[in-house]
Structure 1
Amino acid sequence: MRHSDAGRRDPGVIEERIGYTFKDRALLERALTRLAYTLEAGIPPETHMDALATLGDAVINVAVVEAVVAGGAHDKGAISNRKMNLVNMTRLRGLAEDLDLADYVRWGKGEAAQRVWTSGRVLAECLEALVGAVYLDGGMDAAAGVLRRLGLTAKA
């Protein structure tokens, strides 16, 4: 039952796995909370992950381009191609699966019943939200460090 806090794993484990400890734990909780959950639980709408996912998407793109350029790429086309190869839904979803991220997210009941994390972009968005939260909590260096530790930019 992943739609309740009762069956959810301790979010602190995610901090260990990404190698980053949040100063503001509310950001971590927000990154792990789906809109459907907030609606069902009657908690404020600003406590769900959507804005963090949008921010995280941008942060991931910046971190990857920085790493590609630092790796010696200088041609715009080559940089764009390398970024596209590194940052795509399948890759981000795979990183989220490696973290068992679905076990830490607060899902809505319908999402849990449908196991929405098993298809499409849902887990990629959850990873983006987590990166967005790290960025707000610790800045670009912290977010880039998490992406490096996850292996996204290690071989940029």
Structure 2
Amino acid sequence: MNASETGGMRRLEEEIGYAFTDRTLLLRALTRLAYALETGLPPAAHMDALATLGDAVINVVVVEAVVAGGAHDKGAITNRKMNLVNMSRLRALAEGIDLAGYVRWGKGEASQRVWTSGRVLAECLEALIGAVYLDGGMEAAAGVLRRLGLTEKV
């Protein structure tokens, strides 16, 4: 980890309001598979598994917040969750913290600016939340999502 990566990670930690105990989790959350393959990093050094975990954590945090907010009907809970957790919403949250500027992209991804369309940036946010969860638990992940504005008005 070089000095510019360390400084960038500190800025990102300030943006999300969470300081990692294990910085390798944060670096992994910011590393795309293409970058890992291009640079010869080990198989576990990229974000994919963290994105899957983060997706699940986000869903739990949002459903918990919706229920705590007074929803008790299964259909209403599901509808509220779907309105809060979707690609567009997660992507907007990621854009709000300039997450694309911290991610280590593969050369092709960088030249195509893949984060400007589709689900890519939402997946990066999911990976970040997965890393927060592994580092600090559900309460830490919920705190970051609250600070980012996902669950503040549930």
Q: Which residue of 2 aligns with 1:150?
A: 148
Taking the aligned partners of 2:73 and 2:107, their CA distance within structure 1 comes to 47
The 2-side partners of 1:6 and 1:22 are apart by 17
Moved segments of 4+, more than 3 Å: 5-9
User: How far apart are the structure 1 equivalents of 2:97 and 2:30?
Assistant: 13
Are 1:54 and 2:52 an aligned pair? yes
- Work out the CA distance in 2 between the residues paired with 1:6 and 1:12: 11
**Amino-acid identity (%):** 80
Please give the alpha-carbon distance, in whole angstroms, between the structure 2 residues aligned to 1:78 and 1:43. Answer: 44
* Residue of structure 1 in register with 2:91 after alignment: 93
The CA RMSD over aligned residues, in Å, is 1.4
Please name the residue that 1:135 is paired with.
133
- Rounded to whole Å, the distance in 1 between the matches of 2:140 and 2:125 is 15
Alpha-carbon separation, structure 2, partners of 1:61 and 1:50: 17
2:71 aligned residue: 73
Q: Deviations over 1:26-84 (max 9, x none)?
A: 00000000000000001111000000000000000000000000000000000000000
In structure 2, what residue type is equivalent to 1:88?
A: N
Residue 99 (structure 1) shift: 0.5
TM (normalized to structure 1)? Answer: 0.94
User: Aligned equivalents of 1:87 and 1:76: distance in 2?
Assistant: 16
Q: How many pairs were matched up?
A: 152
Quote the residue 2:121 is aligned against.
Answer: 123
> Matches of residues 100-115 of structure 1 in structure 2 within 5 Å?
100-115=98-113
Instruction: Tell me the amino acid that sits aligned with residue 88 of structure 2.
Output: T
